[in-house]
Amino acid sequence: MRCLAITAMVLAFAQPFIPLSTGVKKGEKAISIYVDNSFSMGALSQNAPLLELARQRARDIVGAFGVGRPVSGTDQRF
């Protein structure tokens, strides 16, 4: 009886995925970018602080996907 209860709890917390017969939903993908703004990112690289380089790289990534795409960005402040 305990084994059955433990198995039921494991399955309940695992939230198993049961695929639908209709297939995979196709749609627009969102872009999410995390920029590390910790103290260590204040270190200087060859040209600029690492944080500025990370910000510029994030802008480049967003720009590469074009206009009208959902984008979310975050850092350690959330």
Report the predicted TM-score, pTM, of the whole model to 2 decimal places: 0.55
What is the distance between the terminal CA atoms of the chain, rounded to a whole angstrom?
44
Q: Which residues have CB under 8 Å from 48's CB, separation 6+?
A: none
Q: Which range is least confidently modeled, 16-20, 37-41, 67-71?
A: 16-20
Structure tokens at 57: 């790289």
DSSP 20-34: -TT-----PPPEEEE
Q: What is the pLDDT of residue 25?
A: 62
Half-sphere exposure of 46 (CA within 13 A, CB side): 0
Q: What is the pLDDT of residue 9?
A: 84
For 21-67, the pLDDT digits (tens) are 666 666 667 788 888 888 888 888 888 888 889 889 888 888 887 77
